[in-house]
Structure 1
């Protein structure tokens, strides 16, 4: 069972909230893998510091037995190396968007192979659920805080048994 958490802001509480809500909705107590999707910001230092804070929360969830392995989404080679060298619990997956990457850069491929990181592809949009799309569904003004997508695979067969989404939005009326 894999859960991919799409965060719209670098808020550590939202990581725990997304996973715990997804676990409750599915009626389970743990997942095999959590993949973090967090949109980069232009300031590299701010992005890496935010990523590290979010990763610490993920590591604590592993410590609590809620998650067994961790992955990331759309990290470039520099971000992946920085996270990997810094992290106590190493990422074992880096999902790469097919829209941005037709050919995996050789340095990324070599690094991932050396560190036993799976390079997987995805075709998810950068923003899985925009505030505007949510507005079309709801009457009040809401802002998306996070979206998690889960998929349950039949082990060793690669068959999707079930999949779904959980969403948290806050009322943005002032």
Structure 2
């Protein structure tokens, strides 16, 4: 390793060792040639590639200084950002899916605020929530969903989100949520890997109450703690990051309404260092 790379590696370690929070923005994946060449087999592999490449690019191009050691490290590739201009805002739809990686640690507001700031918009058109799965041995319940949904409802009332949706709810759970919620779910994603045909009872309920049924191929756990740590280690070599935990992942897409094409897409990631 040449002296410049050795110095950058040292600076990177200092920054990550001091920081308490890591915020990462992959930039627009439609434009990032380094990532466009890859054809990941799954959303998990795509996210891993994005984290590794973004960290690697950020540490190799950013002017690092150990004199200023921030508690929050913001890693983004400025050339690849995809802010939406006021002139084009009416022409595009901004949708997001938020994966919460830890139970009992709601970070929905932080994720939505970061998405709005990153894309330079005041409101996201739709957000679908994928809360962490219930603890082993427990079944999913309305009580498990309520805290996250209440936070989403608050963001609808403050006009940060226009519409909110759910993921992987069967007919009974969707009905319970619909009856309880003040802001009703506008959509529900169904994973066709576990359900080749939409269940008739779910289809009937969704049609009756005007809930859009969508399909997806995301795994139940988008990224495990060990996979996240491996991706960071690949981006910042020779660094022990076993005390870092993935907090949430927000995947967004900006779609041109008139043409139905994706103008931009990317990931926002937040991780936190575990308290000693």
Please classify the TM superposition score into its range, dividing by the shorter chain length: over 0.9
Where structure 1 has 5 or more consecutive residues not aligned to the other structure, the ranges are none
Q: Say whether the 8 Å CA contact 1:3–1:151 is kept in structure 2.
A: yes
Once residues 156 and 82 of structure 1 are traced to their aligned partners in structure 2, the CA distance between those partners, rounded to angstroms, is: 35
Q: Say whether the 8 Å CA contact 2:129–2:165 is kept in structure 1.
A: yes
1:55 match: 149
Once residues 156 and 55 of structure 1 are traced to their aligned partners in structure 2, the CA distance between those partners, rounded to angstroms, is: 31
Instruction: Give CA deviations for 1:96-147 in whole Å, capped at 9, x if unaligned.
Output: 1121110111000000000100110001122222211211122312111110
2:187 match: 93
1:171 match: 273
Where structure 2 has 5 or more consecutive residues not aligned to the other structure, the ranges are 1-93, 233-238
Once residues 158 and 57 of structure 1 are traced to their aligned partners in structure 2, the CA distance between those partners, rounded to angstroms, is: 30
1:120 match: 214
Q: Aligned Cα RMSD in Å?
A: 1.6
Which one of the candidate residues 138, 147, 164 is aligned to 1:43? 138
Q: Say whether the 8 Å CA contact 1:10–1:54 is kept in structure 2.
A: no
Question: 1:173: how far off?
Answer: 6.3
Q: Secondary structure at the match of 2:169?
A: coil
Moved more, 36-45 or 82-91: 36-45
2:86 match: none
1:152 match: 254
Structure 1 consecutive aligned stretches of length 4 or more whose deviation exceeds 3 Å: 10-13
Task: Map 1:98-113; keep pairs closer than 5 Å.
Answer: 98-113=192-207
Task: Map 1:2-21; keep pairs closer than 5 Å.
Answer: 2-11=95-104, 13-21=106-114
Equivalenced residues, count = 173
Instruction: Give CA deviations for 1:23-73 in whole Å, capped at 9, x if unaligned.
Output: 22222221100100113324347x321311111110000011100001001
Instruction: Compare the two structures and name the one with the higher strand fraction.
Output: 1
1:32 match: 125
Bigger Cα Rg: 2
Question: 1:8: how far off?
Answer: 1.8
Moved more, 54-63 or 36-45: 36-45
Q: Say whether the 8 Å CA contact 1:10–1:51 is kept in structure 2.
A: no
TM-score for the superposition, normalised by structure 2: 0.59
Q: Secondary structure at the match of 1:65?
A: coil
TM-score for the superposition, normalised by structure 1: 0.92
Q: Secondary structure at the match of 2:107?
A: helix
Question: 1:155: how far off?
Answer: 0.6
Q: Say whether the 8 Å CA contact 2:167–2:189 is kept in structure 1.
A: yes
Once residues 133 and 204 of structure 2 are traced to their aligned partners in structure 1, the CA distance between those partners, rounded to angstroms, is: 23
